[in-house]
Amino acid sequence: MCAKIKSLAEFTQGKDDYEADFKVPDGVQIYCENLIKLYKVGEIEVMALQGLDLSVQKGEMIAIIGNSGSGKSTLMNIIGGLDRPTAGRIYVNGINLLKLSDKQMLQYMRETVGFVWQNTARNMVPYLSALDNVKLVMQMAGKVDSNRAHMLLETVGLADRKKSKMHELSGGEQQRVAIAIALANNPGILLADEPTGAVDTKTTAQILRLFHDLNEDMGVTVVIVTHDRQLSHMVKRVVTISDGRIGTEFIRQHEINMDSEELMNAFAGHDSGTHVEYGFIDGRKRLAIPEEYLRKAGLTEKSKVLIKAEDNSIILTKPEEIV
């Protein structure tokens, strides 16, 4: 096993004159600025991220929602240390991830982030029990804490299924084990990729309730990446992503009582008026306008519009009204 370095933050401090005077805003745990990610497939270059900006506060629970190919999984992989951007800034806990060696990145992945995948086979070793799966992650990090392993399975409501193997657990139970595994080494950030994609509505609500409890009780920052827009009703802050850029943000106006029927009503979309939608102006002064707004205004992606500034408002006028 490779030797553990003393401090990732100490390693990255002052390593680049360009970054020497840069300071992450106070309270921000995940900071992405102008992230660009290029993939080359044969002779074709694909830009998965196109100058993306995102900030996540310490202890926040946020959902990143986008369709297939929007760049959401690429973003999660970069935050989680599984991939590196082509250009831009990415800081987590004040650490410049672009300055980490492969060895240091491995330490970052073991200690700072925990992963919950949609594919349960990716979360668990099928021939090990739930308890042994949690201990295995601890062993890989160099320290097994049996008491914590038992505690985590109790926390996710599986105290009586510790000896069960994957094929003996339901889909919802497998995801609960996956969450316990992700928390094995006490990470500050929990990254969940489509965590409810393979379960029913009732189980989805239970898993979201568990994420809320972990967020509040343990103070862990939770980032959920999904295509399911129904989840936007169950999370306080939702960021949409499209074509590799952040589009709009939805902020809940009041807290959900997670122990009542309000949670199920939220998932069913019966409280659709509880969020306020905000546009997002990125570092290149670009503003993404949702397709439904363009459609209602009779605009297309290549429409020319008249721009007016009045008081504190910016007014975009559709082509037929331009004189």
Residue 97 phi/psi, 5-degree rounding, is -65, -25
- Average pLDDT on 24-32 reads 94
- The one-letter code for the residue type at 156 is V
- Which helix (H) or strand (E) segment holds residue 10: the answer is helix 8-12
CA dihedral 65, 68, 71, 72 (to 10 degrees): 30
Weakest mean pLDDT among 64-78, 102-116, 260-274 = 260-274
pLDDT value at residue 11: 46
pLDDT value at residue 3: 43
pLDDT value at residue 321: 54
Q: Is the dihedral of CA 19, 22, 27, 33 positive or negative?
A: negative
* CA–CA distance, 239 with 164 (Å, rounded to integer): 37
The residues spanned by each domain of the chain are 289-323
How many other CB atoms sit within 10 Å of the CB of residue 282? Answer: 18
Q: Is the pLDDT of residue 244 over 70?
A: yes
Nearest to 251 by CA among 226, 231, 273, 276: 276
Residue 120 phi/psi, 5-degree rounding, is -65, -25
DSSP 8-state assignment for residue 185: T
Q: Is the pLDDT of residue 27 over 60?
A: yes
Question: Per-residue pLDDT tens for 97-120?
Answer: 999 999 999 999 988 999 998 877
* CA–CA distance, 86 with 138 (Å, rounded to integer): 32
Which residue in the block uniquely carries the two structure tokens 């497998």? 174
pLDDT value at residue 15: 47
Q: Is the pLDDT of residue 271 over 60?
A: no
Number of residues that make up the chain: 323
Q: What is the mean pLDDT of the chain?
A: 84
Q: What is the token pair recorded at 38?
A: 């290029």
Question: Per-residue pLDDT tens for 218-239?
Answer: 999 999 999 887 776 778 899 9
Q: Is the dihedral of CA 169, 266, 68, 241 positive or negative?
A: negative
Band the pLDDT of 268: cuts 50, 70, 90. low
Q: Is the pLDDT of residue 77 over 60?
A: yes
